[in-house]
Structure formats: structure tokens, C-alpha cells
Structure 1
Amino acid sequence: MKQRLGFVQHCVLFATPLIASSALGIAPSQAATFAYSEGEFNFTNINQTPLTIGTQTDTNTIGIGNGGTVDTLAQAEATFVASPAEAFNLSLSEAFGENKDYLGLAESEATVIGEFVVDAGTSFSFDFTADFNLYTSIDNPPVENAKAAGDISFALIDTTNNSVLDFFSLTGNLNTQGDDDFLTYEKSDNVTLSDPVTTSNFGGNEESATASIQGSVQRSFDDITSLALVEVKSNQVRVTAPEPSGSLALLSCCSVIGVVTRARRKA
């Protein structure tokens, strides 16, 4: 409910200039674009106490208007509590453009990491929830373009040899107008999901994709083992008018093992 309310509030905030302009009658050259990407993730019921915990957030926005109006927003937050062990993070990016000759970009990223030592003959387990929203709209194709992308992923890593024991990944992309829209998730065999819900509306001047996924992981260890539990999410949006001739890739590859290394250097 909290995540859905946040989506509605931000849409209302950014749609207000568009509604006001529509009441006056916008010419095709003065139409508007909107792109929204948000992800939220929770680790709960972690049955071991972490030795170390860490969080990291990063945001970036660019707005360039040459006769047009553009607004961008990027937010990220992350928390990890050691006892009882639980973690949460949220990242959100959105951009709104109006009239013509503008570029708006927004990127956000949030990371949580916990390091554990599990005794021989014991187990490591946790529950998780992931919520994901993408939305794009344009008024005047093909002059305008709106893109929204994002990914949520976690990995349970044996830090002795940097091997991934379990993983989950949720990824989506909207390109309005374009033909590379998708929403997909994948997991390792040991990750159990409970009735995942995904919806998508691809095609036309207004597109959306949502996912709400709950799951759990449980793994037993015969020997004492050092583990890192890492979750990374990123959200990117772009609005442009006119549509640039070149292709800008919104999705970036994130290595959770690399995140472990960077976090250790910061500690």
C-alpha cells in the first residue's frame, strides 16, 4: 500500500503541469512526456546476526531545456538493522517534459549488504519482498520518446571463493514508442517464490509494467561458512523531444560481487 500510494502521489505531482496545459489546448508541438521507475525491496526474518552491515545510495539527474520545459527527480534510501536482522531499500526516478527541444534523465540506485559467519551444521534463511513499477506516456509520436527501466537483484555469496549460492533478479524496460518492452524475473533453484504477480501493458502512447513478488531462501551448511547477502536496485528514466537518432541504453549491468568488494573497501 505504501509503495502504491507513493506512485500515485508522484504521478499527481508531475501530471499537474500537463493537466493545466491540456485545459488551455496544447498544439502537437507542445505535447508532454512522462517516465517513472520505482523499486522497493525488503529482507525480513533473517535467522542469523550479521557481523557487518552496509548501505549505499546514489542519485543523478540531468535536465536540459532549449525552448521546452523539463523536470526530473531521483530519490534513494537504504537501511540495514543488525538485530533483529532486516533490511529495506527504495529507489525512484521520474522525468516530465513539455513543449519541444528538451532532454530529461534521472537515475537512482540503492544497495544493502550484510556479512555473516554460519557455523557448521546450521542453516541460513530469510524472507524477501520486491515491488516494481514502470510507467511511460507521450502525446506526440514519433517526435517524443519516454523510457523507463529498472532492476532489482540479490545474491547470497560464499565470500571465501566469491561463488554465488543463490540469486534472484527482476528486470523491466519500457520504450514509448519502441519494440523493446519487457518485464521478466529469474532465480536460482533454491529461491522459493509465493504467488508472484506481474502485470504489463505494452504498446501505444502509454505503457506500464508492475511486479509484486514474495519469496524465501533456506540453505544448510556442513562447514563453517562466510556469507554476504547483497541486494542492489537501480531505476532509470529518460524523456526527450525530439527523439534522438542515437540509442541510449538505460539498463546497466551490476555485479553484486563487485558491490561486496567496494563495500569492504569503504568499511
Structure 2
Amino acid sequence: MMKFPNILTNINISIFKIAPILIGTVLVSSPSLAASFASSESKVTIDNFSKNPYEVVEVESTAESFSINGGETNASALAEANFVSVPANAYNLSKSVVEGTGNSFFALAESASAVLGIFSILPGETFSFDFEVEFDLKTSIDSLNESANAGGDVSFFILGSIGEDTPILLDSFTVSGNLETAGDNDFFDFPQNIDGNNFTIIDDVDFSFGSLEEYVSASFDGSYQITFDSNQIINILLLEVKANYAQVSAPEPSTTIAFLLFGALGVCTRFKSRINRTLLR
């Protein structure tokens, strides 16, 4: 494989910044009977490539979940990744779901996955593909003494290089969101500010913030196309990466929660390192 060293160093993957929000939102005050739910899910399909890649990588997906039972809790995380080289098509999924009932509980789930393809583009040749993105967040609580958070990120990056030159970022876009119930840290960002002009995207977006039940439901149908005028062969790397988390809580000792958060938030860090190690093989 051609090496693309440390490409994530200067690439902004929003989920790596979103996850620490949990530290500021998980602690709540007085105990009461509670029922909370949070889910975060994203799916991507990529197909109709103009040519097949000469190498594909399914970065080993990672998923973690755990819970503290003071009431009843359930936490589940799922991550899948698949990239077929001939005919070229890719699919990956990341899903985190948690729920809790009672007067004292904590549950957290995190998941992440990525697919990569490396292509050799001849002088004057066009590189293109189509894609579909599904992105869904949901949270609900019964009272303000509870906390439910859901967040996620889907990012596409197109990098290019000639020979052994250092690869450069050609184009990218990101779908990113966070729900904090109850709280004021809700947001949803989607491809209105695409880097470069080689993406074409049709979106269908619906969201609701500011109540005890919040959601984001979005889908994107798009295509990417770029033609190179260079008289040399261009090496192209397509990276699609996603991460999702969900958390619910009713009052728990802060020291216990801090300890668990320290371990759980390592999912994104380890996943980021795994992508870079794969590219340096």
C-alpha cells in the first residue's frame, strides 16, 4: 500500500471533539424515578465508482458499551465495515443505543467504523462515485433530573498525491450532530460548506430541539467527480469514517462516572490511531 502518513493530524473529524461534551452533561442533581433513552446511528453506502481501487481497507471497527445498574439499564453498540474492490462498492454502519429506568443509573455506548479505497488515476482521467448517507439521533427523558445525550459524525475525505509526494486534502464534507436533553448543546451541521466544489448533494433533513424528546433524521444522496489535468498518475485515497455515541443517566457518584468516562472516551482516540497505523503499513 502507498503510505499516507498521519493524515488525521490536520483533518477535522468532529466526533473526536464532540465526545468530551459528555463530561459536562452527564452529572445531574437530585434523585427521582427516571426513564431515559438515547440512540445514535449512521449508515453509508458508496457505489458506481468510475474505476476499481487497487487496494481497499476496512479499518477494524470498534464498539464498547457498559452500564451501572441502580435501576435497569441497557447499552448496545454495533459497528460494521465492508469494501469490495470488484466491482467497487462500500458499506459501513455505526450504531449506539442506551436506555435506563429507575432512580439511579448510568449507561454509555460508543461505536466507530471506516472504509478506505486507494485508486490510481491516469492523466486526464475522471474519478467519480455515488453515495448515500443516513444519519439519525434520538433522545428522550421523563424529567429534568435525567440526562440523555446522542451524537455522531460522518466524514468523507479525498486525498491525492503524485509519486511519493506528501498527499494533500482535495475535498471533504462532514455530517455532524449532538443532542443534549435537557440542555442547550444541541446542533446539527450538514454539507452546506463543502470544501472544494466536486460534491453534488441532495439532502432530506428533519430535526426537533428544545423539549424532553429531541431528534435528528437526515439522509443525503450525492455524487463526487473530479478530473485531473496532470500528465502524471495521481494516487487517490477515499476515506469515509464515522463514529456515534449515546448516554443516559440519573444521579450517580461523580467519581464513578468520571472513571467510566475516562475509559469510554478512549474509543475515538484508539480508533483514530488505528486508521493512521493502517495507512502506514
Q: TM-score range by the shorter chain?
A: 0.7 to 0.9
Conserved in 1, the CA contact under 8 Å of 2:112 and 2:268? no
2:247 is the alignment partner of 1:232: no
- Give CA deviations for 1:133-172 in whole Å, capped at 9, x if unaligned: 000000121x210000000001011144221111110000
Letter matched to residue 136 of structure 1: T
Change in Cα spacing, 1:243 to 1:151, as seen in structure 2 (3 Å) is: farther
User: Hey, what does 1:167 align to over in structure 2?
Assistant: 172
User: Hey, what does 2:277 align to over in structure 1?
Assistant: 262
Q: CA deviation at 1:205?
A: 0.6
- Give CA deviations for 1:164-217 in whole Å, capped at 9, x if unaligned: 111110000000001010111232232433431111100111000111111111
Conserved in 2, the CA contact under 8 Å of 1:53 and 1:114? yes
2:155 to 153, 156, 173: 153
- Structure number with higher relative contact order (C-alpha < 8 Å, ≥ 6 residues apart): 2
User: Hey, what does 2:251 align to over in structure 1?
Assistant: 242
Q: Tell me, what secondary structure is at the counterpart of 1:48?
A: coil
User: Hey, what does 1:196 align to over in structure 2?
Assistant: 203
Letter matched to residue 156 of structure 1: I
Q: How well do the aligned residues superpose, as a CA RMSD in angstroms?
A: 2.6
| 1:95-114 map, 5 Å | 95-114=98-117
Q: Tell me, what secondary structure is at the counterpart of 2:32?
A: helix
- Give CA deviations for 1:66-99 in whole Å, capped at 9, x if unaligned: x211100000111101111110001100000010
- Give CA deviations for 1:13-45 in whole Å, capped at 9, x if unaligned: xxxxxxxxxxxxxxx932200000000001111
| 1:118-157 map, 5 Å | 118-141=121-144, 143-157=145-159
Q: Deviation above 4 Å: which 4+ runs of structure 1? A: 243-250, 256-260
- Give CA deviations for 1:80-132 in whole Å, capped at 9, x if unaligned: 01111110001100000010221100001111001111111211111111110
Q: Tell me, what secondary structure is at the counterpart of 2:184?
A: coil
Change in Cα spacing, 1:192 to 1:47, as seen in structure 2 (3 Å) is: same
User: Hey, what does 1:214 align to over in structure 2?
Assistant: 221
Letter matched to residue 276 of structure 2: T
2:35 is the alignment partner of 1:32: yes
TM-score, normalising length: structure 2: 0.77
User: Hey, what does 2:188 align to over in structure 1?
Assistant: 183
The more displaced of 88-97 and 240-249 is 240-249
2:61 is the alignment partner of 1:57: yes
Letter matched to residue 111 of structure 1: A
Conserved in 2, the CA contact under 8 Å of 1:228 and 1:260? no
Change in Cα spacing, 1:199 to 1:92, as seen in structure 2 (3 Å) is: same
Change in Cα spacing, 1:165 to 1:111, as seen in structure 2 (3 Å) is: same
CA distance in 2, matches of 1:152, 1:74: 17
Q: CA deviation at 1:244?
A: 7.7
CA distance in 1, matches of 2:118, 2:275: 9
- The percent of aligned pairs where both chains have the same amino acid is 39
CA distance in 2, matches of 1:201, 1:148: 13
1:205 to 200, 209, 212: 212
Change in Cα spacing, 1:137 to 1:91, as seen in structure 2 (3 Å) is: same
CA distance in 2, matches of 1:88, 1:181: 28
- How many residue pairs match? The answer is 237
Conserved in 2, the CA contact under 8 Å of 1:191 and 1:215? no
CA distance in 1, matches of 2:236, 2:202: 28
Letter matched to residue 212 of structure 1: S
2:50 is the alignment partner of 1:43: no
